[in-house]
């Protein structure tokens, strides 16, 4: 029986650049940063409010995990409009401004690699 989601993966072009972007722009925290032989690195980030879920920043792997091919991961927020203002101030590319939808208010943004994400303030 599957009991919970533990990790989601996002392909990135450069570990250090991605780590800086996800922690400084989205205010996520570093969970794990382990380096292994052969350039292998296990790097995860997550929200302070949800310690059980980690986002794995995975080095681009053509044909397997390609940058710009991940979309529709949904981040929750208490105030979508204010969060978009904050993200803009941090230089995040906003793809769609906050708009009212049947389930609340949502917007969309992209990381430096073209992966897109949705931000939702649930009713």
Q: Tell me: the pLDDT tens digits for 4-54? A: 777 888 889 999 999 999 999 999 999 999 988 777 788 999 999 999 999
Higher per-residue confidence, 2 vs 20: 20
Q: Tell me: the pLDDT tens digits for 70-121? A: 666 788 899 999 999 999 999 999 999 999 988 889 998 988 988 888 888 9
* pTM, rounded to two decimals: 0.76
CA dihedral 37, 58, 29, 20 (to 10 degrees): 90
Q: How confident is the model at residue 3 (pLDDT cuts 50, 70, 90)?
A: low
Q: How confident is the model at residue 64 (pLDDT cuts 50, 70, 90)?
A: low
Spell out the domains of the chain, with CATH numbers in brackets.
7-122 (3.10.180.10)
């Amino acid at each position: 029986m599957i009991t919970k989601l533990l990790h989601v993966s996002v392909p990135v072009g450069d570990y250090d650049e991605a780590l800086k972007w996800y922690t400084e722009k989205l205010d996520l925290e570093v969970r794990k940063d382990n380096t292994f032989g052969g350039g292998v690195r296990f790097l995860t980030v997550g929200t302070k409010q949800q310690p059980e879920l980690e986002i794995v920043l995975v080095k681009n792997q053509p044909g397997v995990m390609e940058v710009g091919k991940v979309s529709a991961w949904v981040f929750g927020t208490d105030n979508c409009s204010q969060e978009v203002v904050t993200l803009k101030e941090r230089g995040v590319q906003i793809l769609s401004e906050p708009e009212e939808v049947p389930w609340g208010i949502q917007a969309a943004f992209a990381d430096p690699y073209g992966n897109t994400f949705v931000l939702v303030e649930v009713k």
